[in-house]
């Protein structure tokens, strides 16, 4: 499997890298492999290598694309496709013995040899951080995979995140059996409960030893995975044999080297419903403005994707943008233009957007995150005041903040499938004796990624990527806002 730099990678959401990673380009990246490991087989009398995959064209294109006239966006290197060079590799699987310089991830999946003896293995599961669609699906699939396929009979569920690993916790751990978890996937939330923050690492390791845990599955986002890495490092120092396996859960979808985290697709679906509903409200009142505040502290993926899904949004505001509200050419001026043109406007805003304007609070939450002021409420109040004071114009603002409703719904069908796959690959890794890692998803393949690899790397939207350009095409907002 081959990783590309941001400038080469056109089909995956980019990441911003806060430390230098040197990537070597594979000269044979355009070759078509015969032994492709996709999730389907091709039934044909023709060999794969004999199939002509070159697309016909009427001739050389000579006219300059009008997309090049968009101000403040450099599309030449990052967006335009070069017919003679840019191809999608047929097979993503890499043999590193034959291609040693190719940057690649370890492929997830079952190994022919395992490290832990099933009859003596005890596993533990924790869910941490905010709620997210699919948590129960992951718990259920871990338990079923362990018992049905690997014949592991003892699975502990630690209650309320890392707090459940404290010595003498307020909520003792529970035994999870296939019967106990059989229908939990039909419910939102997590049957184990969740929390932020954690006890001292030494205390948590002692709890794992007391219970005889061999594998701990840590389901959570950035903070949870940092905690999992700290656990694994201390376990290694003590020369203990306890595997730490992370399963990425963040509704913000901002974990590096993970194209999508579970629950994201469901969240986008629910968020787009909220946008469509506020659009109805805005259209049914004079000078109606609908505002929906969505999740996304530092990354705007869910707001951007929901905007694209809805198709009813006029302004998409995300944390990556350096926003201007009341100044000339800013948001308020553009909202006025939209109101004059069609009588209503809809704004989708990430919770972390606009902090350069409204500032942040003092202190941090239990996960160590900076406390943000409420951008949704700020826009609701300030927008109306601005229109009244500057233009003597009354606007009717309808504001929705559906974050908790979105987080607490059950996973949709696609997310349920994805959750089950993540869980199974996590069990495969744990039983094989892997540790200090998480299950990733890259170019359609499940991968094993060292937890150390995601340190100091943040996945963010980029203004010259096709995903954001799709937002601009949908909303019509000024591209120079960034």
Looking up residue 188, the CATH number of its domain turns out to be 3.40.50.450
Mark whether 128 and 233 lie in a shared domain: yes
Is the Cβ–Cβ distance between 352 and 378 less than 8 Å?
no
Q: How crowded is residue 270: how many other Cβ atoms within 10 Å of its Cβ?
A: 21
CATH of the domain at 289: 3.40.50.460
Q: Using one digit for the tens of pLDDT, what is the confidence trace for 12-60? A: 444 443 333 333 334 333 333 333 344 444 444 555 556 676 766 667 7
Q: Which residues are catalytic?
A: 252
Which of 388, 386, 321, 311 minimizes the C-alpha distance to 349? 321
- Residue 280 corresponds to which tokens in the numbers above? 């109805």
Query: Torsion over CA of 372, 377, 378 and 383, rounded to 10 degrees?
Result: 160
- What's the number of domains the chain is made of? 2
- Residue-number span of the structural domain to which 279 is assigned: 264-407
Which residues neighbour 416 within 8 Å (Cβ) at sequence distance 6 or greater?
134, 137, 185
Range in 42-56, 61-75, 395-409 the model is least confident about: 42-56
User: Which residues are CB-neighbours of 193 under 8 A, at least 6 positions away?
Assistant: 127, 159, 160, 161, 164, 171
Residues 235 and 298 in one domain: no
CB atoms inside a 10 Å sphere around CB 55: 6
Q: Based on the fold, state whether residues 278 and 372 are members of the same structural domain.
A: yes
**pLDDT at residue 437, rounded to an integer:** 95
Sign (positive/negative) of CA torsion 161, 163, 169, 170? negative
Q: What is the pLDDT of residues 122-141, one digit of tens each?
A: 999 999 999 999 999 999 99
CA distance linking residue 230 with residue 227, whole number of Å: 5
- Judgement on whether residues 343 and 422 belong to the same structural domain of the protein: no
First to last CA, the chain: 33
Same domain, 370 and 312: yes
Q: What is the CA radius of gyration of the chain?
A: 24
Residue 305 lies in a domain: yes
In the predicted model, is pLDDT for residue 221 greater than 70?
A: yes
Residue 71 pLDDT: 65
Q: What is the dihedral of CA 218, 421, 436, 431, to 10 degrees?
A: 100
Q: How many angstroms separate the CA atoms of 417 and 355, rounded? A: 36
Predicted TM-score (pTM) of this structure: 0.83
Does residue 359 belong to any structural domain of this protein? yes
Q: Is residue 226 part of a domain?
A: yes
**C-alpha distances in Å from residue 75, one per residue of 22, 80, 304:** 24, 6, 19
What does the mean pLDDT of the chain come to?
Answer: 85
């Amino acid at each position: 499997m081959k990783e590309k730099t941001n400038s080469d990678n056109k089909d995956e959401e980019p990441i911003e890298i806060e430390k230098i990673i040197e990537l070597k380009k594979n000269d044979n990246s355009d070759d078509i492999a015969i032994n492709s490991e996709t999730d389907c087989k091709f039934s044909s009398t023709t060999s794969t290598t004999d199939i002509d995959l070159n697309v016909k064209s009427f001739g050389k294109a000579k006219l300059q694309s009008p997309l090049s006239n968009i101000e403040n966006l450099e599309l030449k290197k990052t967006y335009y496709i070069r017919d003679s060079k840019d191809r999608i590799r047929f097979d993503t699987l890499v043999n590193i013995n034959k291609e040693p310089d190719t940057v690649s991830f370890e492929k997830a999946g079952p190994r022919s040899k395992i490290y832990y003896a099933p009859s003596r293995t005890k596993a533990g599961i924790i869910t941490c951080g905010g709620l997210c669609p699919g948590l129960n699906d992951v718990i259920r699939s871990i338990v079923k995979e362990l018992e049905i396929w690997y014949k592991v009979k003892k699975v502990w569920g630690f209650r309320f995140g890392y707090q459940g690993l404290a010595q003498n916790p307020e909520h003792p751990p529970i035994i999870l059996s296939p019967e106990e978890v059989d229908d939990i996937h039909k419910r939102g939330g997590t049957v184990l409960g969740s929390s932020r923050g954690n006890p001292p690492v030494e205390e948590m390791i002692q709890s794992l030893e007391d219970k005889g845990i061999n594998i701990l599955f840590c389901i959570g986002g950035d903070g949870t995975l940092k905690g999992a890495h700290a656990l694994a490092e201390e376990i290694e120092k003590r020369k203990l044999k306890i595997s730490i396996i992370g399963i990425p859960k963040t509704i913000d979808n901002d974990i590096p080297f993970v194209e999508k985290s579970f629950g994201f697709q469901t969240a986008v679906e629910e968020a787009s419903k909220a946008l469509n509903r506020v659009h109805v409200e805005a259209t049914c009142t004079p000078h109606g403005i609908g505002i929906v505040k969505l999740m996304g502290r530092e990354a705007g993926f869910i707001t951007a994707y929901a905007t694209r899904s809805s198709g009813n949004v006029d302004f998409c505001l995300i944390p990556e943008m350096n926003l201007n509200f009341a100044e000339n050419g800013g948001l308020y001026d553009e909202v006025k233009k939209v109101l004059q043109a069609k009588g209503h406007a809809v704004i989708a805003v990430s919770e972390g957007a606009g902090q350069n304007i409204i500032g942040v609070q003092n202190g941090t939450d239990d996960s160590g995150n900076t406390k943000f002021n409420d951008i949704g409420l700020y826009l609701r109040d300030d927008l109306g005041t601005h229109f009244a004071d500057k233009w003597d114009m009354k606007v009717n603002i309808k504001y929705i903040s559906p974050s908790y409703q979105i987080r607490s719904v059950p996973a949709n069908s696609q997310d349920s499938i994805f959750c089950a796959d993540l869980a199974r690959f996590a069990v495969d890794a744990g039983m094989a004796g892997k540790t200090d890692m998480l299950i990733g998803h890259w170019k359609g393949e499940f991968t094993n990624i060292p937890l150390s690899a995601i340190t100091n790397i943040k996945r963010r939207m980029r203004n010259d990527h096709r995903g954001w350009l799709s937002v601009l095409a949908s909303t019509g907002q000024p591209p120079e806002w960034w």
